[in-house]
Homo-oligomer: A and B are copies of this chain.
Amino acid sequence: MIRVSIIGSGNVAQHLIQAFSKTTEIELVQVYSRKPNVMATIATSAKIISDFTALLPVDLIIIAVTDSAISEVSKQIPFQNQLIAHTSGSMAMEVLDDKNRKGVFYPLQTFSKAKEVDFSGIPIFVEAQNDTDYQVLEIVAKSVSNSVNRIHSKQRKALHIAAVFVSNFTNHLYQIGYDICQENELPFDALKPLILETANKITTLTPTEAQTGPARRKDTQTINEHLAFLTDENQKEIYKLLTKSIIDNGKKL
């Protein structure tokens, strides 16, 4: 059994706790939370603490807190030369305090409190300072995920940026679709099969093969009619920029 503690009580921390509690390879020793009552229903087997001085030495401490707090939290850990990993897509491994061994344990997924996810399908990207530490992180990652990859920091940053495009920005396009439906008394439900199929297509086609629509067809009449219909300046700007980008991309092929 590998002994793991988690610092944090946000979406990533909560989903990790749930995933670890289902494995037999991991003993979840402690969960640190500033709001211990929030965690009471989630971390039933681990001891919930709200004081860094109560942290015990374990094989791995995972810091799953907001990016800007990682460095400060790592300073609070009351011992040295232990393996400490953060879960951020964008922060360098080096932001962790020098007194402990450093690692990154980055699950590439979008977590919402309200929705449980199947961790086994979530790719986890791991960084470490040496092979021994990498192996610990790999065992922990493999205990919950079928896809574990070792990458370097620059690749992780690229991956996080790609994730912002395909997930955060995509969800914002869903928001615009939702707003347009609301304004025109249409059920957003009508768009859901299209949203799901657009995502599913990507499992069998490349994005280039899957691209359809007025911009792909260079159908300037439809594009101009759509721009004339839109009254929200922000929606218009996004429509123009993404249409131009699709047309330019088509020229490269």
Contact = CB atoms under 8 A, between A and B. Distances in A.
A132 interface: no
A165 B171 contact: no
Given A194-B109, A219-B67, A242-B238, A168 B90 contact: no
A196 B200 contact: yes
A169 interface: yes
A191 B208 CA distance: 16
A234 to B, nearest CB: 5
Contacts of A229: 157-158, 161
Interface range on chain A: under 10, 10 to 19, 20 to 34, or 35 or more? Answer: 35 or more
5 contacts: A114-B209, A159-B190, A174-B202, A174-B210, A192-B203
Nearest to A216: B168
What 9 A-B pairs have minimum CB-CB distances, sorted nearest first?
A: A168-B213, A199-B199, A158-B184, A175-B207, A166-B177, A162-B177, A162-B180, A174-B207, A167-B198
Interface stretch (A16-24, A77-85, A136-144, A244-252): A244-252
A164 B198 contact: no
A102 to B, nearest CB: 19
A1 interface: no
B212 A234 contact: no
Interface stretch (A40-48, A49-57, A116-124): A116-124
Nearest to A240: B241
A37 interface: no
A129 interface: no
Contacts of A131: none
Contact of A211 (B109, B171, B217): B171
A106 B167 CA distance: 28
Given A198-B167, A205-B114, A162 B175 contact: no
A76 interface: no
A130 interface: no
A252 to B, nearest CB: 10
A178 B207 CA distance: 8
Interface string A101-115: 000000011111011
A130 to B, nearest CB: 23
A85 to B, nearest CB: 19
Contacts of A177: 162-163, 165-166, 207
A181 to B, nearest CB: 6
A173 B171 contact: no
Nearest to A213: B168
